[in-house]
Structure 1
Amino acid sequence: MLQIDMWKRVLIWAVCALGILFSLPNGFYARVEARNDAVQAMEAGASGNGLEEQAAQWPSFLPSSLVNLGLDLRGGAHLLAEVQVADVYESRLQAMWPEVRDLLRQERDTIGTIRLQQSDAAELRVRLNQKPEAAAEAAQLVRGLARPVVSLTGAGSTDIDVSVDGADIVVTLSEAERVATDERTVAQSLEIIRRRIDEVGTREPTIQRQGADRILIQVPGIGSASELKAIIGTTAQLTFQPVVTRTTSADMPAGAGNELLPSLDTEGEFYVLEQAPVVTGEDLVDAQPSFDQNGRPAVNFRFNTTGARKFGDYTAENIGNPFAIVLDDEVVSAPVIQSHIPGGSGIITGNFTVEESTNLAVLLRAGALPAGLEFLEERTIGPELGADSIEAGRIACLVAFAAVLVFMVLSYGLFGLFANIALLFNVALIFGALSVIGGTLTLPGIAGIVLTIGMAVDANVLVFERIREELRTAKGPARAIELGYDRALSAIIDANITTFIIAVILFVMGSGPVKGFAITLGLGILTSVFTAIFVTRLLIVMWFERKRPKTIEV
């Protein structure tokens, strides 16, 4: 007969209570958000500035997880960047030159002297000056420097191809290594962008790969797209390179294996440097803003063990020679090495402001981007537009909610009222689930909730219509209700499974706003099935047990 076990009743009401409890913080969004920020700041070691008062705005025993507001609701910046993966090929080959040079110099008696040739393509071209007939032998030596490609698709391949062109040995990256390099470059860029944005302390950014070499960046709450570009668009490539000479001519030929770079501090001054760096920013483990001995803003840095050894060995062997500190193809300074510098730490000085030294430290700590970024799309969404979107979504939800409530009461009377109560629990469960999983609510997500409100009563409509049919066959009220739920269940499950499959496909195949819609739609389907099958039925059973009506009207 029409009955529900006590443990099932307790479980149903417990789920509803948890949904309301976890959705409650979203009704006090600004207060809870301020509390969460204060708690996070205190955990990081901050104190004062009213942090304790802000942390006390919301009881600590209550949940404090919030639904994250997406870019279109909070406002912020949107960028679509393309990683210039081809830039890495040339730098990889340039870094090989010292190794190739040292190897071939050891065989000078056999192959003679060598000279690095200028080349526009992504290749390393070395010319044999005295014994061009030994090019094949020299190429075989260079092939010995090849390493296996580290990737699943490049198994069994080596990272370089070595060929002979007359008296020249030509080294290029193999196709398998190019594919693996592209994959590593985009993955590394993705991680470094994430680190840089996290260093600034922004809330719930969206950073994801799109296609082969593009990265989508959406950061709610940031001022503008140009501000976001300033954070992530700089490569912050730090290198320490030997100085060949200093000049005031911007047209001075640098020579093979060298490069001409401008001075950051002195306009019209240029340095000719060896292209192969002694140490790079990849060996940095820390960078902090500080002040030099004259009280000017500077940046302290520290190398890892490998970098410290290279830095110490070079300074010990080159006392009295200048050593350039290069940041993004500009010479920050070129001090003369006065003594051996052990320990792997130093300081970068220049005409920095305090803000510039702080930003530089952030960029260096996060690491250097392996390749440049070309921004294909950029948008700034103001907080006013986000507030308008929230208000429009709120009005849409209220209108849809009111229309559904009125329709259900007019169509099904008391049973429609039970469906409306279940609908309230349904919305609470959606927001509670979004809060627990840390989901991001976007404008399409609000559309998904509005759609869910309309769809949530579909299951109840199927049940109530089925109960009406059972009542027409002269069955008693209890039996009609029981059969109505039992015989409508298969139709309810089938209809919602097909819609849930669509939501899963949208989530897997879509991106950005499409995912936001899929998440709220999928959660709404799960919660509406729960409230229609269990909550509404429990309400009807409790009413029936209390009233024991001889007849009912649906």
Structure 2
Amino acid sequence: MLEFPRWKYFLILIILAVSALYALPNVYQKDPSVQITANRGAALDDALRSRVAADLAQQGVQVKGVALEGGSLMVRLHDLDAQTRAADVLRGDLGENYTVALNLASTVPDWLDNLGAQPMVLGLDLQGGVHFVLQVDQPAALEKRMDAYVEEVRVTLRDNRIGYQSVERRRDHSIVATLSPSNDAEAIAKARKLLTTAQPTLTQTLSGHQLTLQVPESELAQIATGAIEQNITTLRNRVNELGVSEPIIQRQGNDRVVVQLPGVQDTAAAKRMIGATATLEYRAVVEGNAADALATGRIPPEAKVYYRRDSGEPILLNKRVIVTGDQMVGAQSTMDQNGQPAVSVTLNSVGGQRMFDFTSVSVNKPMAVVYVEYLPEVKIVDGKEVHSTRVKEEVISVANINGVFGKQFQTTGLAKPEADELARQLKSGSLAAPMTFIEERIVGPSLGKENVERGVTAVLYAFLFTLIFFTVYYRMFGVLTSMALLFNLLIVVAVMSLFEATMTLPGFAGLALSIGLSVDANVLINERIREELRAGVPPKAAIVAGYEKAGGTILDANLTAIIAGVALYAFGTGPLKGFAVTLIVGVLASMFTAITVSRALAVLVYSRRKKLKSLAI
């Protein structure tokens, strides 16, 4: 009567072994460390490693190790105070050629790492991280959009062969197109109709041959709002490229964005990736001597002077952009045929068509690639901080067009780290407007350590109290229940680690609650067995009846908890999601351990006793 299938024992043993394996990395604490990454042209080699070790030894900073790990030099320290001292020393010694940042280095053995076993990911409130507040430069977004309007008006008139003298932008967010006097009334009417079709949101006013297009206030507000929304979307994509778990990215007020990155201590890399506004522009080269044009001031009206990155020499490029980074849908860092770093670019349909049209009529003519970067600046004016943005434009490549191409091609002229970073930025999308870091806070790992210790202590005391209560009150079945609860905790930790779910401080509350629900399930089973015994049912039959009759009740009770957890995860944010994840995983594990594991243990203990007259319950 008291039987349990052998295959279920094998299943339990397999789950126990896998859970122990993937929970094991949480035993290995991370080392406080200092991460050194090279800027353009600098080298990471044994000479640098020896220099770093010597500098730290001279300053009396004891290190656990200095080694090259994953493309950076990692200095492992014994404690947080040594980490801070080492960072200060190295920032002063290494200068601008290297970026020095705080980090936490993994100590998980290679054999576990090769199996994909990693420690549980901790949230910002547990392991620390960075908290940024960024201000979106909305005037820059308006400027960028107005420039696009001006270019679109020029293209519309030029493509339809309507003569014009100039198209200019005014400070009141209007565009004035001065048409050629040779245009008659029919041509002017045609121009107005074409511009209405191309720009339906702009209002038109005609005075002689001067056509004024006004951007309405509602459109200006939409541009400003859209800039923030696009920046938030781009930030989420960029944070995904950083591989940060459970980041918080949300709007604050009219022009600010809050970014929280748990576990990130390399603030330099985070700021470079988040705030970078680098992009590419492809422009045609205008014939002529740029140096003579600068000297005489006679720059062709369709041209603009740029400077080469490698030599610093001036070059004339067409004001009209062929395609920009906004039209790129894919980018990948690669190598060209000569083994040099390159970025393989894929354009959208509009950009691909424009590139195809240009290259079709420009074979054997040069085309330039311009690297555009928006650099935030802070100046003190009358005792107040004034944030502004400086545009840096460099020609990184000028090459002849050897054949016709459209959507896919390669861009060269970049260093390897620069190509990698630019590819990530282009793939995640460009920012609609530059952003300035106006607040930066580092949540120290000491605070996280205290939170972890308190959370672990709370769960531990709740767990120990439960084990003692069960052992005293239910005796042998209390011991079996305690073993099932330990298995339950092991499964939760393993699942959270395996799927890289983030454990937050509210997550500890969810874990404690799931243990409580597991206790509740075991109480239902034990009390049901006691009821069967009081009714005069034989011990073995009472065990079977207890598990079978309590199973449906346990399923119903836990199902409602899972539904509540799913709702919290679907509609909640931040801490609520952390609570919901641990609750759902804990409830599912408790159902398995309470119904299956504890029954397997009970059968293992009592099935071979033929003359069983009573149960220790």
TM-score > 0.5, shorter chain as reference: yes
Matching residue of 2:204 = 164
**Aligned letter for 2:5?**
D
Deviation at 1:438, TM superposition (A): 1.9
Deviation at 1:194, TM superposition (A): 3.9
Matching residue of 1:502 = 564
SS of equivalent residue, structure 2 residue 276? coil
Is the Cα contact below 8 Å between 1:225 and 1:379 reproduced in 2? no
Aligned equivalents of 2:483, 2:119: Cα separation in 1: 24
Aligned equivalents of 1:47, 1:221: Cα separation in 2: 19
Matching residue of 2:190 = 137
Normalising by structure 1, we get a TM-score of 0.70
CA 533–55 in structure 1, closer or farther in 2 if over 3 Å, else same: closer
Moved more, 235-244 or 482-491: 235-244
**Aligned letter for 1:220?**
P
SS of equivalent residue, structure 1 residue 139? helix
Aligned equivalents of 1:11, 1:490: Cα separation in 2: 22
Matching residue of 1:36 = none
Deviation at 1:47, TM superposition (A): 12
SS of equivalent residue, structure 1 residue 463? helix
**Aligned letter for 1:366?**
Q
Deviation at 1:420, TM superposition (A): 0.2
Deviation at 1:530, TM superposition (A): 0.7
SS of equivalent residue, structure 1 residue 480? helix
Deviation at 1:331, TM superposition (A): 4.6
SS of equivalent residue, structure 1 residue 166? strand
Aligned pair 1:190/2:236, yes or no? no
Normalising by structure 2, we get a TM-score of 0.64
Aligned equivalents of 1:325, 1:432: Cα separation in 2: 46
**Aligned letter for 2:264?**
I
Aligned equivalents of 2:8, 2:272: Cα separation in 1: 56
Matching residue of 1:539 = 601
Matching residue of 1:518 = 580
Matches within 5 A, 1:48-447: 57-58=110-111, 64-79=117-132, 88=141, 90-105=143-158, 113-120=164-171, 124-128=175-179, 130=181, 135-143=188-196, 146=198, 160-161=200-201, 163-167=203-207, 168-170=211-213, 186=229, 190-191=233-234, 194-195=237-238, 198=241, 204-207=244-247, 210=250, 217-223=259-265, 228-237=270-279, 239=281, 277=321, 280-281=324-325, 327-328=373-374, 329-332=390-393, 362-363=421-422, 366-367=425-426, 368-373=430-435, 379-447=441-509
Aligned equivalents of 2:370, 2:496: Cα separation in 1: 52
**Aligned letter for 2:425?**
A
**Aligned letter for 1:552?**
L
CA 91–432 in structure 1, closer or farther in 2 if over 3 Å, else same: same
Is the Cα contact below 8 Å between 2:540 and 2:612 reproduced in 1? no
SS of equivalent residue, structure 1 residue 204? coil
Deviation at 1:126, TM superposition (A): 2.3
Aligned equivalents of 2:178, 2:549: Cα separation in 1: 85
Matching residue of 2:25 = 25
Is the Cα contact below 8 Å between 1:393 and 1:443 reproduced in 2? yes
SS of equivalent residue, structure 1 residue 457? helix
What per-residue deviation string (whole Å, max 9, x for no partner) do you get for residues 438-496 of structure 1?
Answer: 21222221222222223321101111112222221122112222222222222211211
**Aligned letter for 1:484?**
G
CA 84–407 in structure 1, closer or farther in 2 if over 3 Å, else same: farther
SS of equivalent residue, structure 1 residue 465? helix
Percent identical among aligned pairs is: 31
Aligned equivalents of 1:48, 1:376: Cα separation in 2: 29
CA 478–177 in structure 1, closer or farther in 2 if over 3 Å, else same: farther
Aligned positions, number: 496
Aligned pair 1:16/2:56, yes or no? no
SS of equivalent residue, structure 1 residue 170? strand
Deviation at 1:29, TM superposition (A): 4.8
Matching residue of 2:103 = none
CA 489–184 in structure 1, closer or farther in 2 if over 3 Å, else same: farther
Matching residue of 2:531 = 469
CA 8–226 in structure 1, closer or farther in 2 if over 3 Å, else same: closer
**Aligned letter for 1:513?**
P
CA 219–342 in structure 1, closer or farther in 2 if over 3 Å, else same: farther
Moved more, 17-26 or 463-472: 17-26
Aligned equivalents of 1:365, 1:309: Cα separation in 2: 27
CA 233–542 in structure 1, closer or farther in 2 if over 3 Å, else same: same
Deviation at 1:503, TM superposition (A): 0.6
What per-residue deviation string (whole Å, max 9, x for no partner) do you get for residues 209-240 of structure 1?
Answer: 64799866433343376874344223225557
Is the Cα contact below 8 Å between 2:138 and 2:433 reproduced in 1? yes
Is the Cα contact below 8 Å between 2:150 and 2:169 reproduced in 1? no
Aligned equivalents of 1:192, 1:57: Cα separation in 2: 33
Deviation at 1:313, TM superposition (A): 8.7
Is the Cα contact below 8 Å between 1:203 and 1:220 reproduced in 2? no
Deviation at 1:287, TM superposition (A): 8.2
**Aligned letter for 1:496?**
N
Matching residue of 1:551 = 614
SS of equivalent residue, structure 2 residue 126? helix
**Aligned letter for 1:551?**
S
What per-residue deviation string (whole Å, max 9, x for no partner) do you get for residues 156-199 of structure 1?
Answer: xxx7435421232527599999989977984676346644774x
What per-residue deviation string (whole Å, max 9, x for no partner) do you get for residues 312-335 of structure 1?
Answer: 99999899xx99875324355689
Matching residue of 2:313 = none
Deviation at 1:142, TM superposition (A): 2.8
CA 136–371 in structure 1, closer or farther in 2 if over 3 Å, else same: same
**Aligned letter for 2:129?**
G
**Aligned letter for 1:161?**
T
Aligned equivalents of 2:174, 2:236: Cα separation in 1: 29
**Aligned letter for 1:425?**
F
Deviation at 1:428, TM superposition (A): 0.7
**Aligned letter for 1:327?**
E
Is the Cα contact below 8 Å between 2:167 and 2:177 reproduced in 1? yes
Aligned equivalents of 1:227, 1:9: Cα separation in 2: 49
**Aligned letter for 2:144?**
S
The two structures, once aligned, show a CA RMSD in angstroms of: 5.3
SS of equivalent residue, structure 2 residue 588? helix
Unaligned runs of 5+ in 1: 34-40, 147-158, 248-255, 265-271, 289-298, 349-353
Is the Cα contact below 8 Å between 1:470 and 1:484 reproduced in 2? yes
What per-residue deviation string (whole Å, max 9, x for no partner) do you get for residues 394-431 of structure 1?
Answer: 22222111111111112111111110000010011111
SS of equivalent residue, structure 2 residue 265? coil
Aligned equivalents of 2:304, 2:221: Cα separation in 1: 25
Aligned equivalents of 2:531, 2:563: Cα separation in 1: 31
SS of equivalent residue, structure 2 residue 12? helix
